Amino acid sequence: MYTILVCDDDRDIVAALKIYLSAEGYEVLPAYTGKEALDLLDEHTVHLALMDIMMPVMDGIMATAKLREKTNIPIILLTAKSEDTDKVLGLTIGADDYVTKPFNPMEVVARVKSQLRRYTMLGSLQAEQQKKPKVITIGGVTLDDESKSVTVDGDPVTLTPTEYSILKLLMQNPGQVFSSAQIYAAVWKEDAYGNDSTVAVHIRHLREKIEITPAEPRYVKVVWGQGYKFEKGGAAT
């Protein structure tokens, strides 16, 4: 059984999500401030967090940043339409996805399933993947799919599950250009529905972790108007 942390200062939203998630077999831990969420994380094993942005005591942005210091579990932000800037900031500091209020609870359940599937499948080798090497080294970047670790020039790099999945997709297919929609479909396991900006934020955050100079990347390149690729030789432009 997976445990979902649901954090929102609107108790009706927490109660509604608890009903829908419990019906799917998940255990739900309710919290109403970012601080309560972090306290619960210290006391329980949590597999995914649903985090509102605007909350008292500690908002969702700060809670997400602090949560990322402790764990790489998927984080889905619950945001208002007026919080676009905070939404991007949340993705930049480590959130994996977002749902805009007002939302259909079943949409949230679908996002939860998608994130958990990717998170738990990171350690699974599908038949197609079995033919691919467990350790990929291109330039100074090494991805070990058995230990789920990444190093750059020998130094370990900590990635979120989403960042790892994007990097793995690109490194397994060096030189191949993937559109934002293709990356979203491959990583999130669902249609993109205009989520180009979500992919762009994760790519930018990935670059900040693996590139010496993110503005002049050696590895993760943009092919303007087409998408992204991992440079075969890891050469600077």
Any idea where the domains of the chain sit in the sequence? Answer: 3-121, 129-230
Question: How many C-alpha atoms does 70 have within 13 Å on its Cβ side?
Answer: 19
Least confident of 16-30, 129-143, 157-171: 129-143
Residue 124 has what pLDDT?
A: 43
pLDDT in tens, 86-109: 778 888 888 899 898 889 999 999
Residue 7 has what pLDDT?
A: 96
Residue 121 has what pLDDT?
A: 66
Q: What residues contact 214, with CB distance under 8 A and at least 6 apart?
A: 204, 207, 208
Residue 129 has what pLDDT?
A: 47
User: Is pLDDT larger for residue 118 or for residue 45?
Assistant: 45
Residue the block writes with tokens 């989520």: 195
Residue 203 has what pLDDT?
A: 94
Which pLDDT band holds residue 112 (cuts at 50, 70, 90)? very high
pLDDT exceeds cutoff 80 at 196: no
CATH of 129-230, one of 3.30.70.360, 1.10.10.10, 3.40.50.150, 1.20.120.1200: 1.10.10.10
User: CA angle at residue 162 from 61 to 159, to 5 degrees?
Assistant: 80
SS3 152: strand
Contact 34, 63 (CB under 8 A): yes
pLDDT exceeds cutoff 80 at 81: no
CATH architecture observed for domain 3-121: 3-Layer(aba) Sandwich (3.40)
Q: Please list the alpha-helical segments (H only) found in the chain.
A: 11-23, 34-43, 60-68, 84-92, 105-121, 161-172, 180-188, 196-210
Residue 51 has what pLDDT?
A: 94
Cross-strand bridge partners of residue 143: 136, 150
pLDDT in tens, 31-69: 999 999 999 988 888 999 999 998 888 888 999 999 888
Across 10-19, 50-59, 173-182, which has the greatest mean pLDDT?
10-19
Mean pLDDT of the chain: 86
pLDDT in tens, 121-161: 654 434 344 455 689 999 999 999 888 999 999 999 999 99
Among 114, 122, 109, 119, residue whose Cα is nearest residue 25: 109
